[in-house]
Amino acid sequence: MLALFLINLPCPGAGHVVRGRVGLGLSFLLPALFVLTALLLVSLIGTADWAAGVRAWLLGGYLLLALAATAAHAAIDRPRVVDAEQVRQFHRAAAIAFLGDRHPEAVAAAERLAAHAPGEPGAWRLLALTADAAGDRARGGQARRRLARLLIDRDGLP
């Protein structure tokens, strides 16, 4: 995902929009568009004595937007350390509850697993399975969509 990470430098917020975080992406894209429009207007109608200073401030603002969007992307998509023992405990609790036909308890354990290891496709697959068994089709569909996004990120386009 290095390419998506770096797309925020020339076009602040574009990497967030591509990753599905439209609100965050637009919060960087719209001010960047405003700054570029102002830069174009200053270049077209500005006189030499004041335009250079304004252009420098606008370019600095654009650079700050680009760096902030890239830093936000890095903070959100950073690899998380997952405790393997904790994963085994959550998975075991979900499996025992599922096999004992205690579906709400299984869904709760699978949600704890998915929250602890959000980058693991198996956690989302388990959550989809347990939610479907509990009759919560909406939550199961949500988990399957998240699973599909993780698999696309890991393996490439389907």
**Which residues belong to CATH 1.25.40 in the chain?**
84-155
For residues 84 and 62, the model is more confident at 62
* Out of 43-47, 52-56, 79-83, 97-101, least confident range: 79-83
Q: Apex CA 117: angle with CA 111 and CA 121, to 5°?
A: 85
- The predicted model scores a pTM of 0.57
pLDDT at 150: 85
Q: Which helix (H) or strand (E) holds 12?
A: none
Confidence of residue 139 (pLDDT cuts 50, 70, 90): very high
Judge whether residue 130 has pLDDT over 70: yes
Instruction: Return the CATH number of 84-155, one of 1.10.3470, 1.10.10, 1.25.40, 1.20.120.
Output: 1.25.40
Report the 10 Å Cβ neighbour count for 157.
4
Alpha-helical segments (H) within the chain: 2-6, 14-18, 22-45, 48-76, 84-99, 103-116, 121-133, 137-155
How many other CB atoms are found less than 10 A from the CB of residue 112? 18
Which pLDDT value is given to residue 58?
A: 92
Each residue's pLDDT tens digit, 45-59: 877 778 888 889 999
If we measure between CA atoms, which residue out of 82, 84, 135 comes closest to residue 106? 135
Are 64 and 83 in contact, with CB atoms under 8 Å apart?
Answer: no
Mean pLDDT of the chain: 87
